[in-house]
Amino acid sequence: MLSDPMSLTSNASHHQAPCQGQSSLQPNYRRRRKYSSRNSDNSNTRYACPKCQRSYRHVHHMLRHYRFECDSPPRFQCPYCGMKSKQSNNVYKHIRVKHPGSNLEIVRLQYEQE
């Protein structure tokens, strides 16, 4: 009968929880960081969209464009004047500036997928 399963290993120190201030997510952070342009010294690296060749400084901006914006119609609309945008934050900003005092609500446009 085993009372302590940790006694089976020769070096049980690697089974301890991380110290306070250390994150167990560090390997993921390192993995993500290698795709960031911040990783290199003043890098001029650009990430181009495979569909339209529009380029971005950060890969996550290019991926957002590729997944939600490239070759697609606007998805969001101002309920007060009909202004349309592919990003909701642009419509929220528009409402704050052009329609002050109005409710911050946007219209989500639905399109048929081909």
- Answer yes or no: is pLDDT of 50 > 80: yes
What does the pLDDT look like over 86-102, one tens digit per residue? 999 999 999 999 999 99
Segment 80-88 shows an average pLDDT of 95
Residue 34: C-alpha distances to residues 38, 42, 54, 104 (Å)? 9, 14, 21, 38
Residues 32, 38: contact at Cβ < 8 Å?
no
Residues of the chain above pLDDT 90, percent = 55
